[in-house]
């Protein structure tokens, strides 16, 4: 690997670290919105969000907090919540939900034929919330 390649790799890693830090700061800023801090005005908050996001976009102009995959996961989970489990289930409604699920999978596979659902990532992400619920 040439010196030039090494340098560009270092820059890429630095950018990724900075991007992660900026996304983290943005989410922390969201979390600190409530209860409101008296020393922090609404204008201050707006400027802070604007500054953080501008810096994120400068590093990666195509960055999205919610990418196609996450929004797809959200849709799937919502549909699974809609599955009717009453003693006498509405099978017609459930079959419609399955068709909508199938439709979404088909779209994702059209975009990327080898696309797969990151089941492990979803479970890992869901668990802290499940624990909160149980407590």
Partner 1 sequence: MATNESSDNKNQLITLMLQTIENFVPLETRPAPEGMAIYLYELKKEILRQNPKFKFINSYNDYIFRILTLLDYLDVSKEYDTESHGKTVHMICRETRDIKRIDPLWKINPTSVIEFINSTLSASARK
**Which residues within the stretch 70-129 sit at the binding site for partner 1 (CB under 8 A)?**
70-71, 73-74, 76-78, 80-81, 83-85, 89, 91, 94-99, 101-102, 105-106, 109, 112-129
Site for partner 1 in 21-60 (CB under 8 A): 23-24, 26-28, 30-31, 33-36, 42-43, 45-47, 49-50, 53-54, 57
Told to check if 134 binds partner 1 by CB under 8 A, we report yes
Q: How far apart are CA 101 and CA 77, in angstroms?
A: 10
- Give the pair of three-digit tokens for residue 27: 């989410």
Please state, in angstroms and as integers, the Cα–Cα distance from residue 45 to each residue in 17, 38, 65, following that order.
24, 12, 18
Told to check if 62 binds partner 1 by CB under 8 A, we report no
- Alpha carbon 59 to its chain centroid, in Å, reads 18
């Amino acid at each position: 690997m040439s010196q030039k390649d090494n340098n560009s790799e270092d820059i890429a890693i630095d950018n990724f670290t900075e991007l992660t830090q900026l996304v983290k700061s943005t989410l922390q800023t969201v979390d600190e919105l409530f209860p409101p801090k008296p020393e922090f005005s609404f204008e201050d908050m707006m400027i802070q969000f604007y500054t953080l996001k501008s810096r994120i976009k400068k590093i990666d102009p195509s960055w999205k907090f919610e990418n196609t995959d996450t929004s797809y996961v959200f849709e799937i989970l919502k549909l699974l919540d809609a599955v009717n489990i009453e003693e006498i289930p509405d099978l017609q409604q459930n079959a419609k939900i399955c068709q909508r699920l199938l439709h979404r999978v088909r779209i994702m596979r059209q975009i990327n034929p080898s696309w797969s659902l990151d089941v492990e990532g979803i479970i890992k992400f869901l668990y802290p919330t499940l624990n909160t619920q149980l407590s």
